[in-house]
Homo-oligomer: A and B are copies of this chain.
């Protein structure tokens, strides 16, 4: 049975080298922000910039490795029933909701949820980079550079599976931003095999 992450919340857990992490969108059109840290030294962290450079592309799917800031492979994407995820944007936060949504009493967002879940592993807020945003559908205009956050392409039961290439600490959320998940907050399921 998979674990459930309640809407607008997050968790952290360990993933051993060789284990597989399956992330499931149980209702469809929901986003899960994924972070990975080297368990032996949490200063080594998942890096969008390194991954884009080595992959020569910004959209990643099955067969693509996710690199760390030290240019080591942390995770391989081994299955993907959706084919569109985002690695450009940082986790939504109090500031996101204040600046983009104009909220006066903003939710702590995925950023706050990740920071809270990762604190017991001695990971501080400032160490949180751009996340691999599973199922998030960010369209990019290659001419102007304009981006838009569109409804996820994921349907109920869709999944993405990662295999760990080192011992990791994982942070994972059920996203808190209305724009990311087409206007409704939903859970995320995950399991380790």
Of A88, A90, A96, A141, the most chain B CB neighbours within 10 A belong to A90
- Least CB separation from A43: chain B residue: B126
- Kindly list chain B residues whose C-beta atoms are within 8 Å of the C-beta of A124: 43
Taken together as a complex, chains A and B put the C-alpha atoms of A43 and B126 apart, in Å, by 6
The interface stretch among A3-11, A24-32, A52-60, A185-193 is A52-60
Q: Does A142 contact B (CB under 8 A)?
A: yes
Which residues between 37 and 70 of chain A lie within 8 Å of chain B, taking CB atoms?
A: 43-45, 47-50, 52-54, 56-60, 69-70
Q: Do the beta carbons of B147 and A47 come within 8 Å of each other?
A: no
Q: Is there a chain B Cβ closer than 8 Å to A181's Cβ?
A: no
Contact A145 B59 (CB under 8 A): yes
| B93 pairs with A49, CB closer than 8 A | no
Which B residues touch A70, using CB under 8 A?
A: 95, 126
C-alpha spacing A142/B47, complex, angstroms = 21
A126 to B56 alpha-carbon distance, docked (Å): 22
B89 and A147 within 8 A (CB): no
Given known A49-B88, A69-B126, A139-B142, contact A147–B95 (CB-CB < 8 A) = no
Name which of A59, A124, A143, A148 has the most chain B CB atoms within 10 A of its CB: A59
> Does A71 belong to the interface (CB within 8 Å)?
yes
The interface of chain A, by Cβ under 8 A from chain B, is 43-45, 47-50, 52-54, 56-60, 69-71, 88-90, 93, 95-96, 99-100, 124, 126, 128-130, 139-148
Additional 18 contacts, C-beta under 8 A, given A53-B96, A58-B140, A60-B145: A43-B126, A45-B126, A48-B48, A48-B88, A48-B130, A49-B89, A49-B90, A49-B130, A50-B90, A52-B88, A56-B146, A56-B148, A59-B145, A70-B95, A71-B99, A129-B129, A140-B140, A140-B142
